[in-house]
Structure 1
Amino acid sequence: MGVAIRTAGESDRELVVRLLDEAFQDDPVSGWVFPGEEYRRRTHHRLMGAFTDAVLADGRIDLTEDGAACALWLPVPAGEEPGDGAEDIPALVREAVDPANERVELIARLTEGIHPSGRAHEYLWMIGVAPGRQGEGLGTALIGTVLDRCDREGLPAYLEASSDRSKGLYERLGFEFTGRALDLPDGPRMWPMWREPRQTP
């Protein structure tokens, strides 16, 4: 049985934010940005809200029909990187989420610094699956619909894996480690991964 997927709209914002907040509470990178369980419970959802708003404005959020999983995608034109433009997006996000937490800004600057530029591509910013629904193939289904389109259109795709487990999933979907890991200061490792489009018959 296939997974029903639709494009999320503004009316789905709270559902997406809640889903991302729950899915990433135990993520190594979220734990680094928001150290301490109580602090993370109080604050983490604000960052997920900022991410959701950014992608609703400039990208696309795919959502399973039952609301158990979502994927946030940004199209990156040739020669550009996420964050290109006059505004200092990392600083604005920090101001909106938690001005006292420099790691909110730092994580954005560090990931921007390793993001490949030059070729147009689809950027999988985040994918979240409700904790009780992980392992059912929902994430694979969500990613697969966009990768099928990438293959048809000859577009590469890019992401940063934030755990060994997710890195393994992405490798099975055709992503390859770029060879330059991002080691967060006194924190976990992230793996930038790139996928060339596959030839469609």
Structure 2
Amino acid sequence: MSPIEAADRQDADEAILATRADTEILAGMLAEAFHNDALTRWITPDENRRRNQLPDFFRVFLEISLRYDAVYTNASKDAALLFLPPGGWEETEKRGVELSQRFAEILGDDVEAMATISGLQAVHHPTGRLHYYVSFAGVDPNNQRRGAMSTLLQALIDRADAEGFACYTEASSAGGTFAARRAGFVEIGHKIEIPDGPTLRPMWREPR
């Protein structure tokens, strides 16, 4: 999953790589950022249950990306961009059983909904060419629309361009689609239609 939240702040903090020491604060921030997101609401409709689950949910995703030193944040820790480097998505897919068990412990019966989304994403994920994959990007609800995410996304794009790799993500909202397009992504393939749920838009950016 990879909703990118739009933001527009001129004085945004410089992007820095997060460390494992940042896990707790970033997990809490992402839980707040995505509490009312269409994807997390579809996975766990009950609001109180969702609020309890999301910090642990994002701890797992942070651990996945931090394994590759692949989380950008800022000094304020009010934004985070989680990604996987070239080859990282393929390696993570091989950990499917382990990760499924971890998410089952966190989500309980709601894990089936997550499995549905993950399965659809896997079918649509580009193969045959190494690329950076943006899995999650979020901003503290109190600091959105001030440019924090644009700063983090630009840091990843600069890195990918310097190394000659493309980038891939899936946008789940109009704001996310706009942010990705502004960064040079274009829609590819077919939209990922979640049954009775939101739609994900696969998006790709060639290196420049």
Provide the rounded CA distance (Å) in 2 between the counterparts of 1:150 and 1:45.
Answer: 29
Gap change, CA 1:37 and 1:99, over 3 Å in 2: closer
Gap change, CA 1:69 and 1:87, over 3 Å in 2: closer
1:195 counterpart residue number: 205
1:81 counterpart residue number: 90
How many residues get paired?
197
Cα-to-partner distance string for 1:35-92 (whole Å, 9 max, x where unaligned)? 12222112222211111111112351111111111111101329x6364326425522
Deviates more, 1:155-164 or 1:33-42: 33-42
The amino acid that maps onto 1:22 is E
Provide the rounded CA distance (Å) in 2 between the counterparts of 1:82 and 1:71.
Answer: 19
CA contact (8 A) 2:18 2:69 kept: no
Query: Which stretches in structure 1 are left out of the alignment for 5+ residues?
Result: none
Provide the rounded CA distance (Å) in 1 between the counterparts of 2:31 and 2:23.
Answer: 12
Deviates more, 1:10-19 or 1:37-46: 37-46
The reply to whether residue 175 of structure 1 matches residue 199 of structure 2 is no
Mapping for residues 5-24 of structure 1, pairs under 5 Å:
5-24=15-34
Provide the rounded CA distance (Å) in 1 between the counterparts of 2:43 and 2:93.
Answer: 23
Query: Which stretches in structure 2 are left out of the alignment for 5+ residues?
Result: 1-10
What TM-score, normalized to structure 2? 0.87
Mapping for residues 5-154 of structure 1, pairs under 5 Å:
5-77=15-87, 81=90, 83-85=92-94, 87-89=96-98, 91-101=100-110, 102-154=112-164
Moved over 6 A (4+): none
Provide the rounded CA distance (Å) in 2 between the counterparts of 1:86 and 1:103.
Answer: 19
The amino acid that maps onto 1:139 is M
The amino acid that maps onto 2:80 is C
Return the offset for 1:122: 0.6
SS where residue 186 of structure 1 aligns? coil
What TM-score, normalized to structure 1? 0.90
Provide the rounded CA distance (Å) in 1 between the counterparts of 2:155 and 2:95.
Answer: 33
The reply to whether residue 160 of structure 1 matches residue 201 of structure 2 is no
